[in-house]
Structure 1
Amino acid sequence: MPKVKVAIVGVGNCASALVQGVYHYKDVDDDALVPGLMHTRLGGYH
């Protein structure tokens, strides 16, 4: 599956939380219960 390239315009708490969340949850198992996330895989991307 190809990598997704994302650019974040602006800085602030929301952008920081998005980046931190992506790095924190990237290695979570597909069947793991993660508070705040309904699905750990979306459209084939994890």
Structure 2
Amino acid sequence: MFDLKSYILGMVFMAVMSFLDKPIMSFLEKHKATNSAKKKS
């Protein structure tokens, strides 16, 4: 079950990546900034 879950997650992630391509980069940057802010708080 765990293997299948991570496999599906990987497929979805790859599909999203090829779909957004450049937008995902800005999303990751935003996510990183949010994570850093959360860790600082």
Instruction: Pick the TM interval, shorter chain.
Output: 0.3 to 0.5
Give the number of the structure with larger relative contact order, counting CA–CA contacts within 8 Å between residues 6 or more apart.
1
CA radius of gyration, larger in? 2
TM-score by length of 1: 0.38
